[in-house]
Amino acid sequence: MTATPLEHARHILDAMLGYLGFTAQIEEDDGPDGPTLQVLTQDSDALIGRRGEVLEDIQYLVNRVLQRHVKDAPRIRVDVEFYRSMREDKMIARAKELATRVRATGQPADLPPMNSYYRRIIHQVFVDDQEVVSVSAAGEARFKRITLKRREK
């Protein structure tokens, strides 16, 4: 019996954390956000890093190694102590607050710069909105701002 890509990614992450000296429990979740590895540890701050940079790097490495071993593996999401989930919820709540202000004043509002993953989440929030549209700035920058504007009639 062969391991699923999620199980394979779990072994990669477990080995990586072990080599780095972290003790952690890793839970697998194949939920609505796609396959996710949830890391539960006492050292969560060190694994998350400032504004999630270390967590992004860990996720990137796990996916790179996984792709070398399993060519058609899906992208695996790595989270530590539900940090990503809470961050996404806060980001969506902030975007909805700004959208309410855009509806009331008609003035566009900018969100802070974010990577493509988070921009995609915000754009999904406003896909079916009748009054507000989200627009990403053009360019090649990795982190871009989203502007919320009134939707043209």
User: What are the structural domain ranges in the chain?
Assistant: 5-81, 87-150
| Residue whose structure tokens are 């079916």 | 128
CA angle, residues 83, 88, 89, in degrees to nearest 5: 100
Report the sign of the C-alpha dihedral through residues 81, 13, 121, 144, in that order: positive
What pLDDT, on a 0 to 100 scale, did the predictor assign at position 1?
Answer: 52
Per CATH, domain 5-81 is 3.30.460.10: no
Q: What is the mean pLDDT of residues 17-43?
A: 91
Q: Give residue-wise pLDDT tens across range 71-119.
A: 899 999 999 999 998 999 999 999 999 999 999 999 999 999 888 888 9
What pLDDT, on a 0 to 100 scale, did the predictor assign at position 116?
Answer: 83
Closest CA to 145 of 117, 102, 100, 115: 115
Name the residue type at position 35. Answer: P
Which fold is adopted by the domain 87-150?
A: Ribosomal Protein S8; Chain: A, domain 1 (3.30.1370)
